[in-house]
Chain A
């Protein structure tokens, strides 16, 4: 009987991470988190991991599937079962969407536009969206995977100050 219980618990919990992969170097401090399996206690850490992964991907000019990630944010907001119906994968994706939006905001907001078309005038800056509005913009894009420049074009407007 003992062995049966152990086998059952093993089957349920052994499913978390099989192929171990290297985290991006600036997320190395989160490698313990990536092994954890309880969303109930680790939601915040999983989201941090997601943010870190998103930022690393953006810095390395990798493309992200933001439609899926940001749909998770929306789902999390509307779900009445709350954290009980949140999986590890979903919380990491959630973090990815938030991380992307925050990265773009901090990187480009109020920065001068460095485009050859506007070289004559340096009075043009980016004004970026944040929060719910940004999530909704990213949810409604048509392409599956998207890189940093495209995200900036979607999230940020160029305005005179």
Chain B
């Protein structure tokens, strides 16, 4: 179903508002009137409608959910431009991140050459994430959602990938803090460099890597949640 949401929000009872209707604010959630709610059942005050209008025009860079909720309104071209730039930037960062994982695990071994220290788990998760990304992008491209399809899809893709980047950064900070804390508990006299070396090898390290892969895939799944949804 494709609707034109771009006109001014017209609420049936906006003029005849009574003081009582203003008080129950929790009924008028700004995002709900975008979807299936029939217009006449909603009482929205001036302030609330201003809030919605403002929310429509807001530029979103890390918020795929918001893009999805305001999918009806047209996205200005300057915002699309910023989406495009940020999309390219985050794609570059994500590629670098995975390239860094692959190349930092290479080690030289006499007689064999550079040998990979990637485990089966690493490979399985990387392939899963690559396939997931490709499938979701395919779905995003193939499903038509609004009138402003190209801009909407660009915005959603950019927000999704930006969201991945920001969440990965956040997660790696928390993860490093937690891992160093755990190592510090076990070996109180360890230096920082020694602790980082311990992070790369050992039973605890293997478990930490496994759990970090699970969190990484959750980040991807969350960012791609609205891709291709009508």
- Contact flags A58-75 to B (C-beta < 8 A → 1, else 0): 000010000000010001
**Which among A84-92, A100-108, A133-141 touches the partner chain?**
A84-92
Contact yes or no, B116 A19, CB < 8 A: no
CB distance from B71 to the nearest CB of A (A): 24
CB of A149 within 8 Å of the partner chain: no
Partner of A8, one of B110, B116, B134: B134
CB-CB under 8 A from B130, the residues of chain A are: 4-5, 8-9, 12
Please classify the interface of chain A as helix (H, G, I), strand (E, B), loop, or mixed, using the class held by over half of its residues. helix
Query: Complex formed: what's the CA distance from A81 to B122 in Å?
Result: 12
Contact yes or no, B113 A40, CB < 8 A: no
CB of A34 within 8 Å of the partner chain: yes
A86 and B120 contact, Cβ closer than 8 Å, known pairs A5-B134, A17-B115, A20-B113:
yes
Query: Complex formed: what's the CA distance from A12 to B101 in Å?
Result: 10
CB-CB under 8 A from A15, the residues of chain B are: 102-103, 105-106, 116, 118
Contact yes or no, B119 A53, CB < 8 A: no
Contact yes or no, A16 B115, CB < 8 A: yes
B110, B127, B207 — which one has the most chain A CB atoms within 10 A of its CB? B110
CB of B202 within 8 Å of the partner chain: yes
CB of B123 within 8 Å of the partner chain: yes
CB distance from A51 to the nearest CB of B (A): 12
Residues of B within 8 A of A (CB-CB), count: 38
Contact yes or no, B207 A81, CB < 8 A: yes
Contact yes or no, A75 B203, CB < 8 A: yes
Closest to A22 in B: B111
The contact size tier of chain A is: 35 or more
CB-CB under 8 A from A78, the residues of chain B are: 203
CB of B18 within 8 Å of the partner chain: no
Contact yes or no, A89 B109, CB < 8 A: yes
CB distance from A102 to the nearest CB of B (A): 18
Partner of A92, one of B102, B115, B138: B115
* Other A-B pairs, 17, CB within 8 Å; known A4-B134, A16-B116, A17-B116: A9-B130, A12-B118, A15-B116, A15-B118, A18-B106, A18-B113, A20-B113, A39-B120, A75-B202, A81-B207, A85-B119, A85-B120, A85-B209, A87-B105, A88-B117, A89-B117, A90-B117
Question: 5 pairs across A/B with beta carbons < 8 Å?
Answer: A5-B134, A13-B123, A75-B201, A87-B117, A89-B107
Chain A residues engaging chain B, CB cutoff 8 angstroms:
1, 4-5, 8-9, 11-13, 15-24, 27, 34, 37, 39-40, 49, 53, 56-57, 62, 71, 75, 78-81, 83-90, 92
Chain B residues engaging chain A, CB cutoff 8 angstroms:
98-99, 102-103, 105-124, 126-127, 130-131, 134, 137-138, 201-203, 206-207, 209-210
A-B pairs with the 7 shortest C-beta distances? A8-B130, A85-B206, A21-B113, A89-B117, A19-B113, A87-B117, A89-B115
